[in-house]
Chains A and B, each alone.
Chain A
Amino acid sequence: MECLKLEFDVDGENFSSAGNASESVKRTLKQIGVPPASVRRVAIAMYEGEINMVIHAHGGKAEVDIYPDRAEIWLKDRGPGIANIDLAMKEGYSTASDNIRSLGFGAGMGLPNMKKYSDEMKIDSTVGVGTTVFLRINF
């Protein structure tokens, strides 16, 4: 089925612009009439993904496909990769630096929150190559 495709560059190491992509997606979803609760789930899941890319991977790309009944999001980076995905999925586990934690990020809730707010989540990661997180959120 035909879908609405959006693409964003996520600027690495810039906390103030992190969230720009999810903000744009949020606006688009509202303008096409996606229910508020679904907009919120997309926004939160995607925002967490963006922040992750900024903290761990010097940015990357976000691709969003919007269908009448769902959004599919790919967050692609060329960062260090995730060595142990099961561990990374644990609430409170984080490899973020103290520096980043002092900014209020890196609480180890990014991936768990992305899972919580999405209907499907897949992580494809190779150490030294990069990570792609896929999220599906049904409306």
Chain B
Amino acid sequence: MDKTLKTVVLDSDKCIGCITCMRRCPTEAIRIVNGKAKILYDKCINCGECVRSCKGGAKRPVYDSFELVASYKYKIALPSPSLFGQFNHLDNPNYVIEGLLALGFDDVFEVGLAAELVTDCSKKLMEKGDLVRPVISTACPAVAELILLKFHELADHMLPIYAPAKVAAKLAKSRALEAGIPADDIGIFFISPCPAKVYSLHKEEVSNEKYISGVLSQSDVYFRLVEKMNKIETPRDLGKCGHFGIGWGSSGGESNSLGLGNYIHCSGVRNVLGVLTEMSDGKLEGADFVELNMCPGGCVGGVLNVENPFIARNRMRQLAEKMKTPPATMEEFGLDEKFFLWDKAPEPSTSFRLDEDMFAAMKKMMQVEEYLKELPGIDCGMCGAPTCRCFAEDAVIAGVVPDCVKLKERKKE
């Protein structure tokens, strides 16, 4: 994992060194060092769980400043389906689109519309039958990172197509180019519900100067947008996204659009870990599709949202009932499967290993097991590691003897 980019940074002044985030981190990627939480970026999957759990607001998600938008002549906004669930009394999605235009964007491409195309492509690929079943959705980048970090045995189940935000960016860019806008003038901005999408799009897109120019925070945009939306009297009928597309913003929306019978969808860090574990034990055989969302309730639960995920979800469901446009198809947009397929599969990460060399890793593991016989096994976190096992592993990797606070106390008694 390239971790020169960061998803979450620590506000040291606010961090009081409590162990809440360390305990909640699903990949054991946080340690408390000198009284402050330290993220081990090579093990971080950008899920945002530490941001969600930090009581003091010391974990700051990283995203692009809204000011960046002004540096482009032709600005395109890519609103995610979950954005539409953030507003009270919103009964027409066009208010959001008009609001974005009023904010200074020249064009808006709904990510929900791109999601409908992703569904269409997924359906076609699944019908062909050359995907390993159950197929795991890769729309949630934190889930994809988790598989690449800890579930290598499931990597061949990953749906090998781009997430809706990227598809939306590709389509928006070609629409702008067709309209005669010079490529250098085009700035495409995804409005993200979560730090995981900020990170993944930065890694794939922004840093490689591909389609997306920047990734904004949904909550940052929200406050600017509400002001504009309040001034709109009658919005034009601009939205193209239908009820399937907006449904992608909450857990189960993607599977529902696929129209399959035998599928699983679940959300929330612990549940996702549970399902992946069952799957790697061979217990999901027979299922066609697995939709996993790291945030509770799906994208509406991302830490860059304003509204409670379940309230947002209720609103989106009611809004969806009014969005009668039939789902977009690849034919309609003149697209083939190649437009969606990954140009290369992502590399599994080895940062979970004790050593790159297997013999050395085995030796280290033997030492870990030796230390574990001594350690109290209560996972109190006083040493700054989330579990006694982690503490032992850290010590072995660093070549030191684990110095356990609890053991010292016991010896004194």
Q: Is the CB of A30 within 8 A of B353?
A: yes
A137 adjacent to chain B (CB < 8 Å)? no
**B residues in contact with A23, CB < 8 Å:** 277
**B residues in contact with A22, CB < 8 Å:** 281
Closest-CB distance, A2 to chain B (whole angstroms): 8
Q: Is the CB of A44 within 8 A of B365?
A: no
B354 adjacent to chain A (CB < 8 Å)? yes
- Interface of A, secondary structure class, is helix
A23–B283 Cα distance when bound, in Å, is: 13
**A residues in contact with B54, CB < 8 Å:** none
A92 adjacent to chain B (CB < 8 Å)? no
A31 interface neighbour in B281, B282, B365, Cβ under 8 Å: B365
B378 adjacent to chain A (CB < 8 Å)? no
A20–B236 Cα distance when bound, in Å, is: 57
Q: Binary interface profile of B, 353-375, with partner A (CB < 8 Å = 1, else 0)?
A: 11111110110011001000000
Q: Is the CB of A36 within 8 A of B358?
A: no
User: Which chain B residue shows the least CB distance to A34?
Assistant: B358
A103 adjacent to chain B (CB < 8 Å)? no
A10 adjacent to chain B (CB < 8 Å)? no
Q: Which of A22-48 contact B (CB under 8 A)?
A: 22-23, 26, 28, 30-34, 36-37, 39-40, 43-44, 47
CB within 8 Å of B: which residues of A? 2, 4-6, 19, 22-23, 26, 28, 30-34, 36-37, 39-40, 43-44, 47, 66, 68, 113
Q: Is the CB of B352 within 8 A of A30?
A: yes
What are the 5 closest A-B residue pairs judged by CB atoms, nearest first? Answer: A36-B153, A32-B361, A36-B152, A40-B153, A44-B282
A32–B355 Cα distance when bound, in Å, is: 7
A19–B274 Cα distance when bound, in Å, is: 12
Q: Is the CB of A4 within 8 A of B282?
A: no
Question: A44-B282, A47-B281 are contacts. A30–B358 as well, Cβ < 8 Å?
Answer: no
B365 interface neighbour in A19, A32, A37, A39, Cβ under 8 Å: A32
User: Which chain B residue shows the least CB distance to A117?
Assistant: B282
Q: Is the CB of B369 within 8 A of A6?
A: yes
Closest-CB distance, A116 to chain B (whole angstroms): 10
Closest-CB distance, B215 to chain A (whole angstroms): 31
A43–B353 Cα distance when bound, in Å, is: 18
Q: Is the CB of A68 within 8 A of B352?
A: no
**B residues in contact with A6, CB < 8 Å:** 369
